[in-house]
């Protein structure tokens, strides 16, 4: 849970979330963020679907309902009819906006793939041939997805120490990745893959994602099956789900894909999104990567994760993977290795990886074709020290 203290949202976005008012007896319910507060949708629209403590019933209602509600909400804002159902942001606390059903994390930035390949496999091709043929990803653990503001405890795991010995200890290379995640509203039927052209029928909105990563644990365990404990101890999402109907106004061309993707991954039109991210550490901006640089697009990701006939459910979340472009990197791993100097913060301290007490914040701005800029949201978390593990011996 987090107190609702974010920059103002305008009428273009009107993202959805779940809020409560501490000190009152009323239950958590669905609201829309607007200016410096929250519109209580159950009070405004008189629909019990918004009295639920989760976005699930509304998301499951499908595209026609999403479009209708957004139209009614914008009309109410334009007519000044939201005053009687408006809650000040400072009076509200935000919840996890939906119950995460399944979680897939992709690796969709060519720049990030190349950077990590050079770091993890020196002397080898940094980008494996399969990476250019399909959106590479892995399944995560939904129980470790938390709302913005939830502290992140430094995890334990098996890793190699400086002497090359195997030890079980807290990670010494705690990192975080800046990502955008996409939330499924309407599910699908098992055995029926989703075409890229059907993306708009299934995906409800987008959230900002902080993918916390223990790089030393990840490096030791990921061969041959990929990420596991080094990536599954915490993933933070923003409390507001930015509706796709608002994000579509920021569609731009995505990078040219070579070789041409398989038929089931081909898309028509522009499917990049002009979203500018800002990653900060203890109030210091350390990176401003652009999402429109991503090689694999969200419709391709959805098509690929159902290509074998697997179904999606309301509340499924699939994330983009680290957003890195040719000028800005979305992780400390890329910023501070391969000979780069550690980050120097405004207080004079240095960082190669995250220290206990560090606060990481990710924010996003949507840039539309008419030149407007709209706040998308924010996600943050503070690193807590590793908890003592009585009775656990170091393994060598």
- Compute and round to an integer the Cα radius of gyration of the chain: 21
| DSSP H or E stretch at residue 302 | helix 298-305
DSSP SS3 for 226 = coil
374 given a catalytic annotation? no
Strand partners, 344: 350
DSSP 122-176: TTS-SS-GGGGTS--EEE--GGGEEETT--EEPPEEEEE-TTS-EEEEE-S-EEE
Contacts of 296 (CB under 8 A, 6+ apart): 106, 108, 135
| CA gap 205, 374 in Å, rounded | 15
Contacts of range 331-336, beta carbons closer than 8 Å, 24 or more positions apart: 331/112, 331/175, 331/176, 331/177, 331/178, 331/213, 332/175, 332/176, 332/286, 333/115, 333/116, 333/119, 333/175, 333/177, 333/213, 333/215, 334/112, 334/115, 334/116, 334/119, 335/286, 335/287
Q: Which two tokens stand for residue 277?
A: 């991210």
* Residue among 56, 112, 202, 374 flagged as catalytic: 112
Please name which of 108, 100, 62 lies closest in space to residue 304, comparing C-alpha atoms: 108
User: Using an 8 Å Cβ cutoff, are 389 and 27 in contact?
Assistant: no
Q: Please list the active-site residues.
A: 112
């Amino acid at each position: 849970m987090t107190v609702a203290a974010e920059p103002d949202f305008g009428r273009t976005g009107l993202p959805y979330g779940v809020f409560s008012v501490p000190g009152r007896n009323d239950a958590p319910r669905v609201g829309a963020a607007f200016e410096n507060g929250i519109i209580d949708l159950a009070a405004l629209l008189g629909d019990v679907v918004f009295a639920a403590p989760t976005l699930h019933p509304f998301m499951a209602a499908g595209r026609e309902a999403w479009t209708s509600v957004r139209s009614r909400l914008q009309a109410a804002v334009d007519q000044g009819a939201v005053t009687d159902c408006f809650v000040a942001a400072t009076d509200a606390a935000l919840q996890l906006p939906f119950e995460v059903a399944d979680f897939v994390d992709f690796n969709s930035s060519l720049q990030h793939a190349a950077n990590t390949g050079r770091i993890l496999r020196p002397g080898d091709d940094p980008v494996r041939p399969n990476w250019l043929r399909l959106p590479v990803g892995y399944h995560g653990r939904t129980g470790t997805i938390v709302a913005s503001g939830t502290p992140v405890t430094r995890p334990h795991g098996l890793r190699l120490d400086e002497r090359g010995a195997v030890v079980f200890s807290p990670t010494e290379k705690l990192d975080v990745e800046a990502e955008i995640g996409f939330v499924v509203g309407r599910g699908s039927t098992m055995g029926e893959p989703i075409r890229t052209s059907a993306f708009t029928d299934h995906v409800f909105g987008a959230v900002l994602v902080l993918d916390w990563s223990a790089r030393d644990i990840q490096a030791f365990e990921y061969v041959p099956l990929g990420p596991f404990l080094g990536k599954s101890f915490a993933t933070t999402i923003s409390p507001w789900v930015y509706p796709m109907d608002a994000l579509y106004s920021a569609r731009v061309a995505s990078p040219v894909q070579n070789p041409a993707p398989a038929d089931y991954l081909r898309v028509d039109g522009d499917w990049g999104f002009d979203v500018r991210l800002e990653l900060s550490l203890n109030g210091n901006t350390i990176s401003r990567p652009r999402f429109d640089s991503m090689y694999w697009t969200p419709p391709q990701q959805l098509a690929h994760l159902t290509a074998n006939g697997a179904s999606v459910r309301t509340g499924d979340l699939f994330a983009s993977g680290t957003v890195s472009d040719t000028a800005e990197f979305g992780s400390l791993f890329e910023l501070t290795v391969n000979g780069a100097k550690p980050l120097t913060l405004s207080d004079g301290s240095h960082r190669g990886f995250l220290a206990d007490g560090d606060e990481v914040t990710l924010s996003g701005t949507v840039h539309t074709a008419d030149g407007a800029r709209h706040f998308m949201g924010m996600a943050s978390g503070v690193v807590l020290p590793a908890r003592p593990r009585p009775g656990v011996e170091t393994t060598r």
